[in-house]
A and B are shown apart, each in its own frame.
Chain A
Amino acid sequence: MTVPTVTTSLAVSGLAFAYPDGHQALHGVDLRIGRGERVALLGPNGAGKTTLVLHLNGILTAGAGSVAVGGLPVEKRNLREIRRRVGLVFQDPDDQLFMPTVAEDVAFGPANFGVTGDALAARVRTALERVGMAEHADRSPLHLSGGQRRRVALATVLACEPEILVLDEPSSNLDPTARRELAEVLLDLDVTMLMVTHDLPYALQLCPRSVVLDDGEVVADGPTRELLADPDLLRRHRLELPYGFTLA
């Protein structure tokens, strides 16, 4: 069987969604991310970023519009494969790391997707090596630092070999060193990435392209440096660079 070359990792078109209480969180979002791209998703609180992210792996189902990952539409019958293809890293690693040891947690995803035995052990080892946590495999996530937990959370998703990595606020609650270390790990990964963040310098460092979401709509999409150099745009959408930070 010949597999057509897919160059689009994520295609979202006309996505609309209202919560059961009637709150319309997304009003027709269009977004296309090419394979290998690193894109930051920016926007104020309540803009619909998390709602959008939960649509990508079918936890929420679109009211209208469609989502496709690597060419495969997000539909009920594809959910299993979709969830393998979309690697969601949650904001609080304590939510993501639910198994008693690091190695078991990293094994959880691939084991659910049918990987067993030596192949499973190899997946776990490789994923932990990619984030520099191989020597902590048998420890409890409880006894790791914030930065280490974040990297293990990343490994749990990498072990599933996703088509696209989706990170929710990866730099939150990290000390500056851990924040830098995570950036180094992320820059080293050769995967498609969508990063939800309020940390604009982090977006600039990691993502050549940014998308601004406000009130359930994409209001800007372009090179991160250009968007962050537009003070009017930032002000309109409640985005702010840290004090003393200027783009040369």
Chain B
Amino acid sequence: MGAGHSHPLYLAGTSAVHRLPAEVKIVAAFLGVVCVVITPREAFAVFGGYLLVLAGVWVCARIPLGWIARRSLIEAPFVVLAVLLPFTGGAPSVEWLGVSLSEPGLLAAWNILVKGTLGVLTSLTLAATTPLRDLLLGLQRLRAPSLVVTIATLMLRYVDVIAGEARRMRLARIARGHDPRFLWQVGATARGVGALFVRSYERGERVHLAMLSRGWAGEMPRLSDAVTRRRDWLVGLSPVALAAALAVTGLVTA
């Protein structure tokens, strides 16, 4: 795929992981997350195992640890709640450095933190090795609802067009002396958003006409009839097999 489909979470490469068909990676990531979610929170060592499996995938895909660590910070706002739990949870409590922490609260926080982090790391791994366009093709091959695939495909094409339009409208406002610094000055910006919506809506109608004119029948045509090879499934799902084994270990020992 050419440039222009790269996104900030994509790390261009030619590794075995990059070359796997997107549908295999989507299924693998989904099943991997399922394994993590069903693991009992007390099975501490098992979560370490999941991290090792992911690290193995990163080595294969040549993703530097720092690269993925920086992007995983996206999770931070979502785990703030988890930090509060040890202080707000019920008895029994433990003393730690003179602070009384709730034991169930600590466990609940750990549960959110570890599962959330592993989920984010898995998604980042998928995103780092798969261009957006391939993700959509993968979803199409996995028979995702065609409306969803269509909307996502069009969004991929038009998000930059609409952003460009918004930029030009902003320039036009600034060029006429608009300088919103205070809340009561945002009226023009709000009207701009409204105008942008109307413009995008009208563009949507024109695009629909253009699609009808070329025989659109309600579904994105399948442009390639490539079939996913059994070997790719086997290779792609091998980390999932490890994760499944870990999940079973966790369930049995807990």
Interface positions of A (Cβ within 8 A of B): 54, 57, 59, 80, 83-84, 86, 88, 90, 92, 94-101, 104, 107-109, 111-113, 116-117, 120, 138-143, 156-157, 160
If A59-B213, A140-B157, A143-B3 are given as contacts, then 14 extra A-B residue pairs at C-beta distance below 8 Å, sorted by A number, are A59-B212, A83-B215, A86-B213, A90-B209, A98-B158, A99-B157, A107-B223, A108-B211, A108-B214, A111-B221, A111-B222, A112-B217, A113-B215, A142-B157
Asked if B27 CB lies within 8 Å of chain A CBs, one says no
B156 CB within 8 Å of chain A: yes
Complexed CA–CA distance, A111 and B219 (Å) = 11
| Bitwise interface map of B from 123 to 161 toward A, beta carbon under 8 Å scored 1, else 0 | 000000000110010000000000000000110111011
Cβ proximity bits B1-26 to A, threshold 8 Å, 1 near / 0 not: 11111000000000000000000000
Inter-subunit contact B212/A83 (CB<8 Å) = yes
| Chain A interface mostly | helix
A residues within 8 A CB of B132?
100
**Inter-chain contact total with CB atoms closer than 8 Å:** 90
Number of B interface residues at 8 Å Cβ cutoff, please give it: 31
The answer to whether the Cβ of B167 comes within 8 Å of any Cβ in the partner chain is no
Which A residues are in CB contact (< 8 Å) with B79? none
Measured between beta carbons, the chain A residues less than 8 angstroms from B217 are: 80, 112
A138 CA to B223 CA, complexed, in Å: 14
Q: Given A112-B221, A138-B2, A142-B157, is A95 in contact with B210 using a C-beta cutoff of 8 Å?
A: yes
Partner of A116, one of B2, B209, B225: B225
Give the Cβ gap from A22 to chain B, nearest Cβ, in Å: 21
In angstroms, Cα B215 to Cα A80, docked, is: 6
Candidates B153, B212, B214, B222; contact of A100 at CB < 8 Å? B153
B178 located at the interface, meaning its Cβ lies under 8 Å from any Cβ of chain A in the complex: no
- Tell me whether A107 and B215 are in contact (CB under 8 A): no
Distance in Å from the Cβ of B93 to the closest Cβ of chain A?
55
Query: Which chain B residues in 18-43 approach chain A with CB under 8 Å?
Result: none
Closest 8 CB pairs of A and B: A140-B4, A112-B215, A111-B221, A109-B214, A138-B2, A95-B206, A88-B213, A139-B2
The distance in angstroms between the C-alpha atoms of A59 and B161, with both chains bound, is 25
